[in-house]
Structure 1
Amino acid sequence: MSEGSAGKVNMAFIAAIVAVATIGGFMFGYDSGVINGTQKGLESAFDLGKLGIGVNVGAILVGSSIGAFGAGRMADIIGRRGVMMLSAVLFLVSALLAGAAGSSAIFIIARIIGGLGVGAASVISPVYISEVTPAAVRGRLSSVQQVMIISGLTGAFVANFVLARYAGGSTASLWLDFPAWRWMFWLQAIPAAIYFFALLVIPESPRYLVARGQEERARTVLTRLFGAEEAARKVSEIRASLAADHHRPKLSDLVDKASGKIRPIVWTGIGLAVFQQLVGINVVFYYGATLWEAVGFSEDYALQTNILSGVLSIGACLATIALVDKIGRKPLLLIGSAGMAVTLATVAYAFSTAVTGADGAVSLPGNNGVIALVAANLYVIFFNMSWGPIMWVMLGEMFPNQIRGSGLAVAGFAQWIANAVVSVSFPSLVVSPGLAVAYCGYAFFALVSFFFVRAMVNETKGRELEDMVG
């Protein structure tokens, strides 16, 4: 956006739009984090073993991978806002059904439905935000998505802790004689309903509208965002960026017609998406309580530790908001990769010293429990000041207009498949070969991600979306 028009930017309206769109991030986080404190309830209600817990926890990831892949394409058909509204409905249905599930099979179906909403929201909210914000502050505003994801996770951790404390445990009876773990899911219906109704008052993405031939509607939205003069210029720029391909966006656009090969920018997007998961962050998000109980923490203290991690994550994301449009995306990714490699290796060392007492209780000797806790939280900070928000920022802005929806579909699908591999395998890895080896693996991928960023990622700070190539 030109400097001359900067004063006409309606930042209050843009901020309101971003606030609504990122409720999807909150739902993403809440739906992902609520499972953290419910695993004892699931075990007792459905008589599950370690594999069964892995399947029930991982069920959301099946829906998420499908939702992410389908949403990218669907957003080019029914619009960005339309996909977000569909996500809100899926979140509501999932919350009600998961809490009421009478069997593992019904619970898995409920979580898959929720996963469809999570996957869709995870890829569409960043795209929508990037398409309605000025280039100069796009990274900052897109990073709000991660703040809301972590806020959702933290909200779920707090709700789980309060409900479990009030009831006397996650499996103890609460209101209407239902156990607390069921209410942990039902509470999600409240923000899901808020999300749906809030979406009714925000506009559709102007870039989607131009792609669909609705230039007057796009001009109206852009005028409200940036003023009449800038709106006319932006419509022309968007039209020109789409003019090279005289067809509506489709999946085959990801293949370079000249070489017949998948565009390099697509591989970069897939790499960013996959490495964000292979560093093991969702082990903390999904299994935080189980993880800390495995090394001797009580359920109550483990749930409090989850809340601490959530608060630190929000603080780290706020730091990213302050830095991302100043120092850029790539430096933050490199700092995060290096920091995660060191802290994950430290956690692996601490867990390697775990001992089992005569009563079967597991503990970390000496100061190793404190070392593990500090290193794990430093890891969470490094992740959430880098790969957590920046991966979504870059996926929302790095693809050219013609392939943005399709690129997000493929990268989002890859992200959730990697998430599933890490999350479903974790309960078995705790048993054999153990936590120390698992964390060594996550540290290795953090190290590799550093070299991937150096070689493959190009800076996008300050560039207009119409100028993206790949």
Structure 2
Amino acid sequence: MEARQVNNGLIGLIVAVATIGGFMFGYDSGVINGTQKGIEAAFDLGRLGIGINVGAILVGSSIGAFTAGRLADLIGRRNTMMLAAVLFIVSALLAGAAGSSAIFIIARIIGGLGVGAASVTSPVYISEVTPARVRGRLSSVQQVMIISGLTGAFVANFLVARYAGGSTAMFWAGYEAWRWMFWLQVIPAAIYFIALFFIPESPRYLVVRGRDADAQGVLTRLFGPAEATRKVAEIRASLSADHHKPRLSDLIDKTSGKIRPILWVGIGLAVFQQLVGINVVFYYGATLWEAVGFTEDNALQINILSGALSIGACLLTIALIDRIGRKPLLLIGSAGMTVTLATVAWAFSTSVPGASGTGVTLPGNAGVIALVAANLYVIFFNVSWGPVMWVMLGEMFPTQIRGSALAVSGFAQWIANAAIAVSFPSMVLSPGLSITYLLYTLAALVSFFFVKAMVQETRGRELEDMQG
């Protein structure tokens, strides 16, 4: 009946455009992977300096995620995504042109603001305009696009480096190849900005702002007039009786005076997604594989393989998430990551000094085992925690606190991301790769029991029915 009036074309357009933000999230995060030799040479950086320059984006991302949740409540989901697109463009131009580490760090912080904004705004926007029965599937497209952006950056970096003769070699117009790796990002960022003009604002945001007629118009285009009337009434009813504009204090339970339990669950999901070490693969993949004996060219190809496997895993998630649910996928992912990370840790424990006296090598079959286990780990992550965490953060919170809860959870996610990214270069030296990966293994194991005890299934539930 009413389902037949669903405007699948418009919903598809909305998801396609909104998830370009995910692509930019991935591209801006992944472009650093493969540029580190150029940055190190240009700015004369040591291990700590590399960690700070790589991690600078995460400082911006944590701020962007925290402010975007509130900003999306103030100026709208679409306008916040437009601002993110502008930040991506500015960051790409400035990072490529940077003449010093300080300017580069500023450029990456600006890009991080865009990444953080896109990371929290796109999922909540998608969840607010899609039908409950396919919401998980469509929200999971965000992770496909994040990984597509990462893979796109890996492919672009590989092609530029190969054509130029290396990331530090001169390329077009007399500029080093690594600078062009950043400048190429302007193309998808500009497409993102322009495409956002063709999609509507979130109807739930419009109702919260008292613009019921505008919300009714958007919902009519999406679901037909009868369903639009029902949904506006549902959204309005879901807001608290003493309705006010969303604010951070809404995260405190007025009865108990304590932080709402649902927020702790959101923070836990966000933090565990990073503590398993996934972004070590995405930020430092080339450096990591070179450290254990692979060439720069081979290391960049391994990055592309990991990206392709990640996309395949996310497509599997899209097929499963609305059938078996969110919680089972998280449990499967935690178990699989625990086993594969432990295998990687064992492989790295067998390393011996390299023949040239620099770096290390993995003897016998240990290199192959590490490579296979690492890619299986990437698959387990991207069939579970990669997409499902963002799906749940976009849908698990009640309407009144959704923006604020996303702000806090997103901030926690990026702080954990920064801690992992900045610490990794130093941890490679001490306590070493094996112990480092054992720590990630422990985080994956604990995440299994966290999900089992704390996470509630949200499959098939309307957003207005979420309790917190």
CA distance in 2, matches of 1:17, 1:434: 45
CA distance in 2, matches of 1:157, 1:358: 28
TM-score for both structures, normalised by structure 1: 0.99
Specify the code of the residue in structure 1 equivalent to 2:399: N
1:65 aligns with 2:62: yes
Which position in structure 1 is the counterpart of 2:384?
386
| Partner of residue 230 from structure 2, selected from 233, 237, 244 | 233
1:246 partner SS: coil
1:218 aligns with 2:215: yes
Which position in structure 2 is the counterpart of 1:461?
459
Which position in structure 1 is the counterpart of 2:325?
328
Which position in structure 1 is the counterpart of 2:193?
196
Deviation track 1:157-189 (CA, whole Å, cap 9, x = no partner) reads: 000000000000000000001010000000000
**Given the superposition, is the C-alpha separation of residues 358 and 16 from structure 1 closer, same or farther in structure 2, using an over 3 Å criterion?**
closer
Query: After TM superposition, what 4+ stretches of structure 1 lie above 2 angstroms from structure 2?
Result: none
Tell me if structure 1 keeps the 8 A contact 2:19–2:145: yes
| Partner of residue 206 from structure 1, selected from 203, 206, 212 | 203
Q: CA deviation at 1:360?
A: 1.2
| Partner of residue 8 from structure 1, selected from 5, 11, 20 | 5
Which position in structure 2 is the counterpart of 1:20?
17
TM-score for both structures, normalised by structure 2: 0.99
Mark the runs of 5 or more structure 2 residues left unpaired by the alignment: none
Identity between Structure 1 and Structure 2 (%): 81
Q: CA deviation at 1:246?
A: 1.7
Q: CA deviation at 1:72?
A: 0.3
Which position in structure 1 is the counterpart of 2:422?
424
CA distance in 1, matches of 2:233, 2:317: 32
CA distance in 2, matches of 1:200, 1:393: 24
Specify the code of the residue in structure 2 equivalent to 1:27: M
2:298 partner SS: helix
**What does 1:109-188 align with in structure 2 at a 5 Å threshold?**
109-188=106-185
Instruction: Tell me how many residue pairs correspond in the alignment.
Output: 467
**What does 1:249-288 align with in structure 2 at a 5 Å threshold?**
249-288=246-285
Q: CA deviation at 1:5?
A: 1.2
CA distance in 2, matches of 1:352, 1:150: 29
CA distance in 1, matches of 2:68, 2:58: 15
Which position in structure 1 is the counterpart of 2:77?
80
Specify the code of the residue in structure 1 equivalent to 2:220: T
1:349 aligns with 2:350: no
CA distance in 1, matches of 2:401, 2:198: 27
CA distance in 1, matches of 2:266, 2:306: 27
Tell me if structure 1 keeps the 8 A contact 2:170–2:176: yes
CA distance in 1, matches of 2:414, 2:289: 25
1:269 partner SS: helix
2:32 partner SS: helix
Tell me if structure 1 keeps the 8 A contact 2:240–2:400: no
Q: CA deviation at 1:269?
A: 0.1
| Partner of residue 34 from structure 2, selected from 37, 42, 47 | 37
Deviation track 1:38-82 (CA, whole Å, cap 9, x = no partner) reads: 000001000000000000000000000000000000110000001
Query: RMSD in angstroms over aligned alpha carbons?
Result: 0.6
Specify the code of the residue in structure 2 equivalent to 1:248: K
Q: CA deviation at 1:358?
A: 4.2
**Given the superposition, is the C-alpha separation of residues 348 and 102 from structure 1 closer, same or farther in structure 2, using an over 3 Å criterion?**
same
CA distance in 2, matches of 1:286, 1:372: 18
| Partner of residue 308 from structure 1, selected from 287, 305, 308 | 305
1:47 aligns with 2:32: no
CA distance in 2, matches of 1:243, 1:338: 39
